[in-house]
Amino acid sequence: MHSEICSALQADKCFNEWLQLLPTAFDHMGEVVFSGRNQIRKTAVQLDDGSMTVVVVKRYRVPHFFQRIAYSWLIATKARRAYFNAWQLNSRHIDTPEALAYTECRAAGWLGYSFLLTKVDDQEAIAGMLRMDDAFDRPFATALAAFFARLHDRGVIHQDLNNTNIRFSRKEDGTYSFSLIDINRMTFFCPNEAPPLRECLHNLTLYWDLSPMYSYVAHEYIRLRGLPEETYPLLIRIKKAHDRHWRHKKALSHLWHQIVH
């Protein structure tokens, strides 16, 4: 089993012993937060000083055959990528749950389960704030546009920027803060150097449908980044093309499901 632990916990004997037992104990620990292809649990761990710290543990499923070859010998595992991506985001002042450790279960070099441990993020997904009509929260939409602009201005592309992977909270002063989860698929450019414009615009196709709120966020994003006005129709063309492709892919998937079943 290969593991890497953040500097604050490397010398903590209790945490290290707990981490060694994690693969066999995972199914019985804490509470299930999410269960699907991967499973996420929240649990408490005792440290050397007697205190308890609550952690979130994400277990990545055993990859299928071809993925297993790649993750075993050619590319970093999802857990490893997410662990180091968290530190990269934090260094660019983009919020994400603090990464505590990752561990990989291997047999003769072949990858089995892998695990990512982070601190808890109790913020809500933005999905509940997104509206298809005009009755959307404009301060929230402006803050979301500013978050997208900051993300791109700091050279970050989250390849799965959907409305469940963006979390938010409302502060006492009425402003909003945002954070990112599910960060194993990221592209980083030089800090404070924005990615190519088309890559940024494609990135904005993922989080919501075309709607008055989407249009408002798009205009705010363009304004905050100081982009020319003709960027807006370009973004909308990219968005419509993306949505057509997504609907076509979904229809083919549904047809294939009907055929095989």
pTM value is 0.91
> Which residues contact residue 110 at a Cβ distance below 8 angstroms, ignoring those fewer than 6 apart?
68, 72
86/248 Cα distance (integer angstroms): 34
Strands 39-46 and 2-5: unpaired
Mean pLDDT for the stretch of residues 38-64: 95
Helix (H) or strand (E) holding 13: helix 13-25
Of the listed ranges 44-58, 102-116, 177-191, 199-213, the one predicted with least confidence: 102-116
- Count of other CB atoms within 10 angstroms of residue 50: 7
Residue 250 has pLDDT above 90, yes or no: no
Residue 206 has pLDDT above 80, yes or no: yes
Digit-coded pLDDT (tens) for 143-198: 999 999 999 999 999 999 999 999 999 999 999 999 999 999 999 999 988 999 99
At residue 256 the predicted structure's pLDDT band, cuts being 50, 70 and 90, is low
Task: Enter the DSSP assignment of 27.
Answer: G
At residue 253 the predicted structure's pLDDT band, cuts being 50, 70 and 90, is low
At residue 46 the predicted structure's pLDDT band, cuts being 50, 70 and 90, is very high
- The residues with which 3 forms a beta bridge, in sequence order, are 103
Q: Which tokens go with 134?
A: 């005009």
**Residue 257: what pLDDT?**
63
Task: Answer with the residue of higher pLDDT: 246 or 48.
Answer: 48
State how far the alpha carbon of 79 is from the alpha carbons of 43, 58, 82, 104, 244, in Å: 18, 8, 5, 8, 32
72 close to 110: Cβ distance less than 8 angstroms: yes
Residue 259 has pLDDT above 80, yes or no: no
At residue 261 the predicted structure's pLDDT band, cuts being 50, 70 and 90, is low
Digit-coded pLDDT (tens) for 113-132: 999 999 998 899 999 999 99
Q: Which tokens go with 208?
A: 């919501």
**Residue 94: what pLDDT?**
97
Residue closest to 114 by CA, chosen among 163, 62, 159? 62
**E strands along 37-122, which residues?**
39-46, 52-60, 99-107, 110-119
Per-residue b/e over 228-260, b at no fewer than 16 CB within 10 Å?
A: eeebbeebeebbeeeeeeeeeeeeeeeeeeeee
Residue 254 has pLDDT above 70, yes or no: no
